[in-house]
Homo-oligomer: A and B are copies of this chain.
Amino acid sequence: MKDNSVYKRSHNACLDLIRSHATGALLGSEPSLAQFLEVSRTTVRTILSSLAAAGILHVEGREKRVLRHPYDDEYFPVTETESSAELVERKFMELILKGDLKPGSMINTLELARQFAVSTSAIREYLSGFNRFGLIAKRPNSSWVFQGFTRAFALELSDIRELFELKSIEVFAERVGTEQGRRKLKELKTAHIDLLDRVETDYHNFSALDESFHRAINDASQNRFIREFYDVISLIFHYHFQWNKIDERERNEVAIHEHLAIMEALEVGDIRQARKAAAHHLESARKTLLRSIRDA
C-alpha cells in the first residue's frame, strides 16, 4: 500500500505558508494552492479539511481564512514526510559511502528490504534505476553486484564529465550573446561574488551554487543525455561530499575563483580563455574526487 507522505509533506509546506500570512488573511483557491504545493487538488482538499478540523483555518465555500498560526508540534515529523523511494535512496547512498558495502560484494535485496524496513519491490525498483550510475551491475536471475566507488569509477566519470561540459560550454558561450544568456551569466557571477565575501562562514553553501553553475552550463547543451548525465555527477558529489568534509573551505574557495575565471572569460567573449579555464576547473574537480577515494 501507499503511505501518505505526499500529504504529510504538503501539509507541512502548507503550515509554512500559513505562518507567512497574518491571522484573518485568506488563502488562495484550491487550484492555486495545488500548483504552489506541486500536488493535486485532491491532496490540497485533504490538507484543508485537516487544517479546518484542527482549528487553524476556517473553510467554507471559497473562504479559507487563517484562524491562527500552527504550533510546532502540528507539523508532521520529517521522517514521515519521506517517501519510500526517497528513504531507500538516502539509506543506500549512506551504505555505499560509509564503506559498509565492499567492492565486489553482492547486494541482497531481501536483506536490504529488512534493513531499510521497506518491501523488496521498493529496493528492486531503486536498484534498477540506480543502475545508470554505473556503480552496480546485475547478473540475470541473480543478485546485483556492487562494483565499488573506485578510482576507475572516478576516472571514467570525470572523463565523460569533461567531454560533456567542454562541449556544453561552447554552446553556453554562444548563448551569452543573447539577452537571456547575459542575464543568466550576470546572475551567477553576482551569486559567486556574494558568496566569496562570506566564504569564511558560509562556505558550505557552495555546494548548491556549484550545482546551479554547472547545471546552467550543461543545460545549455540542449541535449537530454548530457543533462541526464549531470544528474549522475550531481548525486555522486552531493552524497560523496556529505561524507568527506576534508579541506571543504579551501576547496570551495578555490572552486569559486575558478568559476569566476570561466565567467569572466565568457563575459568578454574570449572563448579560448573560457575553454582553458573550464578545462582547468574540471581538472581540479577530478583531482579532488580522486583524492577522496580510499583504494589505490
A-side interface residues toward B, CB under 8 Å?
6, 38-40, 121, 124-125, 128-129, 131-132, 134, 140-141, 153, 156-157, 159-160, 163-164, 167, 222-226, 228-229
Determine if B6 and A156 form an interchain contact, defined as CB atoms under 8 angstroms apart: no
Determine if A6 and B157 form an interchain contact, defined as CB atoms under 8 angstroms apart: no
Chain B residue nearest in CB terms to A159: B223
Determine if A160 and B225 form an interchain contact, defined as CB atoms under 8 angstroms apart: yes
Determine if B156 and A224 form an interchain contact, defined as CB atoms under 8 angstroms apart: yes
Q: How far is the CA of A121 from the CA of B140 in the complex (A)?
A: 18
- Most chain B C-beta atoms within 10 Å of own C-beta, residue among A153, A167, A222, A224: A224
Q: How far is the CA of A223 from the CA of B222 in the complex (A)?
A: 23
Other CB < 8 Å A-B pairs besides A134-B225, A163-B167, 18 of them? A6-B141, A38-B140, A39-B141, A40-B141, A121-B121, A125-B125, A128-B128, A132-B132, A132-B228, A134-B224, A134-B228, A153-B224, A156-B224, A157-B225, A160-B223, A160-B225, A163-B163, A163-B164
Protomer copies:
2
Chain B residue nearest in CB terms to A39: B141
Q: How far is the CA of A223 from the CA of B40 in the complex (A)?
A: 42
Chain B residue nearest in CB terms to A153: B224
Contacts of A228 in B (CB 8 A): 132, 134
Contacts of A153 in B (CB 8 A): 224
Q: How far is the CA of A278 from the CA of B20 in the complex (A)?
A: 60
Interchain residue pairs with CB less than 8 A apart (26): A6-B141, A38-B140, A39-B141, A121-B121, A124-B125, A125-B125, A128-B128, A128-B129, A129-B129, A129-B131, A132-B132, A132-B228, A134-B224, A134-B228, A153-B224, A156-B222, A156-B224, A156-B225, A157-B225, A159-B223, A160-B223, A160-B225, A160-B226, A163-B163, A163-B164, A225-B229
